[in-house]
Structure 1
Amino acid sequence: MHKEFTFKATESDAKKRLDIFLHEKLPETTRSSLKHTISEGLVSVDGTTIRKAGHRLQDGDEVEITLPEIETHELKAEAIPLDILFEDDYLLVINKPSGLSVHPGAGQFDGTLANALLHHSDRLSTIGGELRPGIVHRLDKETTGVMVIAKTDEAHVELAKQFKAHTIRRRYHAIVWGVMKDDSGEIDLPIGRSVRDRKKISTDAKKTREAKTLYKALKRFDGFSLLELTPHTGRTHQIRVHLAAINHPVVGDKLYGKRKVPSTIPKPVADKIKGIKSQCLHAISLGFTHPVSKEEMDFEAPYPPDIEGLIEEFESR
């Protein structure tokens, strides 16, 4: 059984790729399946069949798509433990563990932070949609640390304004490969989706956006450094891409870092690195203005045990 959908492109959709436009309208359908649907001739724009996913839309275009019956997914509450740093009637602040995706996506509809939040509270903001209850911002799956969750739509809107205005106070700590030469500096490199690998973000992408990250060397070890990082923009994978671009990738980063531990690394250190469950990137602090009381709030999250253990191993040598 098939289902037909018709959408109207608006001024804000002008020059937008057809597959991206359709993914925004049908978020539970993957980009890859939409591209296949387009190539099969099941999508038309103003009555003309379009077979190129990269077709650019114009204001007023009428887009029709024929799809097999779409399977809907209902987000289910799951009893996933949460490390709660603070909670009131409007906010929830947590220390996110490694391996926990923030919200469903790419065929994963369980085992996420969103599932855990539904189990923890029946009061969450709805602005992000049914699959992202309470989610104002995100951390990568393998990144640990402080996150703020909105319980009400009012809190969500006010927090989102602070993120957009860059008034949120964010600090990350990262263990990186190599000894950082400078004590501090700024990485100012625009980034965008890689043409060669769509899973990756790159500094040499065709279409890039401004991205700036401040760094400070906190400690230097034999072959490694502990850095403090402050992103001035909030691009996907920004810190990881920027550090890889200056040849100091995050330890444990399987996408942008070293895939194997070099044989020159001492065995005790190598064993610690191999035993790390996450990439060594931790959102150590988050500060913001409370959306209702207007109180300035700052939270810190301790390192996960594997990162703490690696630092202790470095310091013992």
Structure 2
Amino acid sequence: MLCGLDGASATTAAQKKLEFLFADDSLVVVAKPSGLLSVPGKGPENQDCVTARIREVFPDCPGHPEVHRLDMDTSGLMVLALNRDAHRELSRQFHDRETSKKYIALLNGEIEEGSGVIKLPFRLDVDNRPMQIYDPVHGKIGITRWKTLGIEDGKTRVEMIPITGRTHQLRVHAASEHGIGVPIIGDRLYGTGTAPGQLKLHASFLSFIHPATGRKMQFTSEPPF
């Protein structure tokens, strides 16, 4: 049984397909499914999200327990704060880039075995929100380390490590001709995806320092693809 979760709460979370990996008095770590928002969106139909489900299980947590986010279509690891001190310290670690994150993606095509670092300037397309576009003049640099892991039925599995944390960074860096040049399977903005839950991008590793104990915490999650 997870620390901080009773049987009923754990069962409720499992039924809603939000996997609880760890919880104590300071924080909770979950694996988010693709297609679920990290935080509420606009309109009553977009209120179901990770933070809402966390508040159901931990009603005394902050009103905004999130300290980082995943795109709705991205699956994988998230850490959320259960008190204000933890929220402040975890937010600082993410802001100061003291956390470590790794993602697994399945690209919609074959690329040669290799690795590299992508440094790509991009910005919001104000005429087509929330899409991000390459812009060497006005764009802000995003940096990603990547390496191939193998070819599977004409698709390429890659590991991607974001050094910066720009919106849609990994998706843009995969799809752009100035990056890898092959979109992630199921990407509705930068590829050929047509519905939520199809994106093959998973936050597979997360490391941070526990805000109360000072202990280094590491979590892994296998991608569902």
Q: TM bucket by the smaller chain?
A: 0.7 to 0.9
CA contact (8 A) 2:28 2:79 kept: yes
CA shift for structure 1 position 81: 4.8
Aligned to 2:4: none
2:125 aligned to 180, 183, 194, which one?
A: 194
Aligned to 1:297: 217
Asked which structure has the greater CA Rg, the reply is 1
Task: Decide whether aligned partners of structure 1 residues 303 and 182 sit closer, same or farther in structure 2, where only a CA change above 3 A counts.
Answer: closer
Q: Distance in 1 between matches of 2:152 and 2:55?
A: 42
Task: Decide whether aligned partners of structure 1 residues 114 and 94 sit closer, same or farther in structure 2, where only a CA change above 3 A counts.
Answer: same
Aligned to 1:34: none
Aligned to 2:80: 149
Q: Distance in 2 between matches of 1:112 and 1:236?
A: 18
Point out where structure 2 has 5 or more consecutive residues left out of the alignment. 1-12
Task: Decide whether aligned partners of structure 1 residues 256 and 205 sit closer, same or farther in structure 2, where only a CA change above 3 A counts.
Answer: farther
Aligned to 1:286: 206
AA aligned opposite 1:90: S
Aligned-partner SS, 1:92? strand
CA shift for structure 1 position 177: 1.7
- Aligned identity (percent) is 37
CA shift for structure 1 position 217: 0.5
Aligned-partner SS, 1:154? helix
AA aligned opposite 2:108: W
Q: Distance in 2 between matches of 1:188 and 1:199?
A: 21
AA aligned opposite 1:112: C
With normalisation by structure 2, the TM-score equals 0.85
CA contact (8 A) 2:31 2:75 kept: yes
AA aligned opposite 1:209: K
- Residues 217-232 of structure 1 mapped to structure 2, 5 A cutoff: 217-232=148-163
Structure with more relative contact order (C-alpha pairs < 8 Å, separation 6 or more): 2
Q: Distance in 2 between matches of 1:114 and 1:190?
A: 31
Aligned-partner SS, 1:190? strand
Q: Distance in 2 between matches of 1:98 and 1:236?
A: 17
Q: In the alignment, does 2:97 pair up with 1:179?
A: no
Aligned to 2:7: none
CA shift for structure 1 position 182: 4.4
Q: Distance in 2 between matches of 1:165 and 1:149?
A: 17
CA contact (8 A) 2:175 2:183 kept: yes
Q: In the alignment, does 2:180 pair up with 1:258?
A: no
> Deviations for 1:60-109, whole angstroms, at most 9, x for unmatched residues?
xxxxxxxxxxxxxxxxxx99453100000001000001111011123245
Aligned-partner SS, 2:140? coil
AA aligned opposite 1:250: I
CA contact (8 A) 1:195 1:205 kept: no
Aligned to 1:270: none
> Deviations for 1:182-215, whole angstroms, at most 9, x for unmatched residues?
4110111012101441220111286321200000
1:169 aligned to 97, 100, 121, which one?
A: 100
Q: How many residues align?
A: 208
CA contact (8 A) 1:183 1:216 kept: yes
| Over 3 Å off, 4+ runs | 78-81
Aligned-partner SS, 2:146? strand
1:94 aligned to 27, 30, 34, which one?
A: 30
Aligned-partner SS, 2:34? coil
Task: Decide whether aligned partners of structure 1 residues 101 and 259 sit closer, same or farther in structure 2, where only a CA change above 3 A counts.
Answer: closer
CA shift for structure 1 position 167: 1.4
> Deviations for 1:36-70, whole angstroms, at most 9, x for unmatched residues?
xxxxxxxxxxxxxxxxxxxxxxxxxxxxxxxxxxx
Aligned to 1:71: none
CA RMSD of aligned residues (A): 2.2
Structure number with higher strand proportion = 2
Point out where structure 1 has 5 or more consecutive residues left out of the alignment. 1-77, 127-132, 261-273, 308-317
With normalisation by structure 1, the TM-score equals 0.62
CA contact (8 A) 1:194 1:205 kept: no
